[in-house]
Structure 1
Amino acid sequence: MTGMKEGAGEDPFADNGSESSNPTEQEKTGDTNAESKATDVRQTGQQQIQIPYKFRRDGVQDGRSRVPLFLQEDTKRAERDALRELEERFDNNVSLTDLREALVKVGLQHLDEAKDNLEQWGYGMTFDE
């Protein structure tokens, strides 16, 4: 007998379709449709479940665009401290890429505070009399 028995040990995130398990050329290059992954919903009996991004991706770069990020030393230290704290809270490793995107998303929800920080760096200053 080959393969695994169906039942409780079955992978709840596995695809049940007739698609090949070999990655397509699009998947190999990382050029996947991020929108379809962002709304991946599976039907189980009468219940719909949404599979969290962490579990439906192939890697931390999956569905993301690369952007350069340069940090001041104090920001880098705060980021490292935040990573350690969140890893303790989750009792699990946290991807630095995931942390950075989460921080950006939270910042986007708090533009007034971001504006205050930019003003501390000199934005909005004028030297006209």
Structure 2
Amino acid sequence: VGTGFRVDGMVEKPQPADAPSNYYISGRYILQPEIFDILKTQEKGAGNEIQLTDAMLKLAGRQEFSAYPFAGRTFDCGSKEGFVEANVAFALWRPDIREKVIDNIERLIHTVEPNGEAVAAK
């Protein structure tokens, strides 16, 4: 764990040009119990959903709120593609299944059409 720093603000999913920094919220938190009181009365935010980020900002205004940089590989599992990428990467990192996973991916590339149909045997 790196050196932490105080968080004064957060922006949920900003456009790259509008991002106030190059840090992102990875979804790993240790929160105080008071967050639940805030969430009970939280208005809907981005995406017309109750945003934990908004509640975290309110909590940060009431007590110390810190972030810690993470050095390592991360994946965006909020999309189908990111979820699949994370699972494939995890499988490829495992020496006990790596080769079989590669074989399966190569087989699928050659046996499944873009529309999901099986390739006809030749």
TM-score range with shorter-chain normalisation?
A: under 0.3
- Tell me the TM-score normalised to structure 2 length: 0.27
- Tell me the TM-score normalised to structure 1 length: 0.26
- More contact order relative to length (CA 8 Å, sep ≥ 6): 2
